[in-house]
């Protein structure tokens, strides 16, 4: 097959134009996912709503969290880390019994961040409270300050860590709201497990998005925070306590 000069120039021109345009078109596609620089924005605040009326005697959220984040037990309950726990409460007056999951409440005004001397405890601008494992010196002041008993000190060597949830002996850790999943556009492991194996008691979403499911539910019925008297404006809210 022979090409005329005109055909050759035409085909070459199209190829060059394609090579020049393709990365641009590819960028349009990339822009829909969040780049690391764009991942966190003040325009969002991630939160959880737990409907205690639906939460029953099941441990799916706890199992899923600890599986997802590689939080393993050494068979020593007093020193083993717990990122999320189930608590059963009984009303002192009426005897009404209820059960609920408790984890880091991702406060807007977190006392752990206030007291941390090195800034290892920090709050992302999208509201997720985290510990920077690289600069935590293990002083445990944040554990003294947290009103929710949400934090654990890593008391011994950790093995089989997950790459997305590094853990280190001698540092403090807590629920990350599965930040690695949230940044990838997924929901936290506890919420996913509650929807799949549990009683669909947990809703995750953006508290600043008026159209989000969590906001619709928050707007439709009374909810509360744990220790509302402390005025910490928690990202985790409960219905039915």
Partner 1 sequence: MAHVNYGTIEPRSLGFYAVLGILGAITLAGLGAALYMEHHGHWITGMSNQVMWGVPHVFAVFLIVAASGALNVASIASVFGRQLYKPLARLSSLLAITLLAGGLAILVLDLGRPDRLIEAMTYYNFKSIFAWNIYLYIGFFGIVIVYLWMMMERRMNDYTKPVGMLAFIWRLTLTTGTGSIFGFLVAREAYNSAIIAPMFIIMSFEFGLAIFLVVLMAGMRWTGRELGDVVFNRLRFLLGVFVAAVMYFVTVYHLTNLYITQRHGIEGFILLDGGIYTKMFWLGQVIVGGVIPLIILFSGLGKSRALTALAAILVVLGGIAQVYVIIIGGQAYPMPLYPGKDIVSSSFFDGMVAVYSPSLPEVILGIGGIGLALVMAAFAMRVLPFLPQSLSDADADPHHKAA
Q: Which residues in this chain contact partner 1 in the complex, by CB under 8 A?
A: 62, 74, 76-82, 85-93, 97, 102, 111, 113-120, 135-141, 143-149, 151-157, 168-172, 226-227, 230, 241
Of 187 and 201, nearer to partner 1 (C-beta) is: 201
Question: Per this entry, what is the length of the chain?
Answer: 241
The CA-based dihedral angle spanning residues 209, 165, 116, 81, taken in that order and rounded to the nearest 10 degrees = 110
Question: Smallest distance from the beta carbon of 32 to partner 1, in angstroms?
Answer: 36
Strand partners, 152: 173
Of 16 and 89, nearer to partner 1 (C-beta) is: 89
Question: Smallest distance from the beta carbon of 77 to partner 1, in angstroms?
Answer: 7
Question: Smallest distance from the beta carbon of 48 to partner 1, in angstroms?
Answer: 17
Of 81 and 128, nearer to partner 1 (C-beta) is: 81
* Structure token pair of residue 117: 């001397």
* Structure token pair of residue 140: 């445990």
Determine contact, residues 154/168, Cβ cutoff 8 Å.
yes
Nearest CA to 146 among 98, 102, 203? 102
Taking CA atoms, 130 is separated from 70, 81, 105, 165, in Å, by: 16, 15, 11, 11
Of 187 and 232, nearer to partner 1 (C-beta) is: 232
Helix (H, G, I), strand (E, B) or coil at 202: strand
Question: Smallest distance from the beta carbon of 227 to partner 1, in angstroms?
Answer: 7
Of 27 and 93, nearer to partner 1 (C-beta) is: 93
Question: Smallest distance from the beta carbon of 133 to partner 1, in angstroms?
Answer: 10
């Amino acid at each position: 097959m022979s090409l005329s000069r005109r055909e050759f120039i035409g085909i070459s021109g199209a190829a060059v134009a394609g090579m020049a345009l393709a990365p641009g078109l590819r960028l349009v596609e990339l822009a829909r996912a969040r780049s690391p620089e764009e991942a966190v924005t003040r325009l969002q605040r991630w939160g959880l709503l737990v409907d205690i009326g639906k939460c029953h005697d099941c441990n799916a959220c706890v199992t899923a969290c600890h599986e997802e984040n590689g939080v393993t037990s050494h068979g020593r309950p007093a020193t083993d880390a717990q990122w999320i726990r189930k608590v059963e409460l009984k009303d002192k007056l009426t005897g009404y019994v209820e059960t609920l999951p408790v984890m880091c409440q991702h406060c807007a005004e977190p006392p752990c961040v206030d007291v941390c001397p090195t800034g290892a405890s920090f709050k992302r601008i999208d509201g997720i409270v985290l510990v920077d494992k690289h600069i935590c010196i293990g002083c445990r002041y944040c554990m003294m300050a947290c009103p929710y008993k949400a934090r654990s000190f890593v008391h011994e060597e950790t093995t089989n860590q997950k790459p997305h949830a590094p853990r280190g002996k001698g540092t403090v850790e807590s629920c990350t709201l599965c930040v690695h999943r949230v940044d990838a556009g997924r929901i936290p492991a506890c919420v996913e497990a509650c929807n799949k194996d549990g009683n669909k008691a947990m809703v995750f979403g953006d508290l600043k998005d008026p159209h989000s499911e969590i906001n619709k539910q928050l707007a439709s019925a009374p909810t509360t925070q744990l220790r509302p008297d402390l005025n910490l404006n928690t990202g985790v809210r409960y219905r039915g306590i």
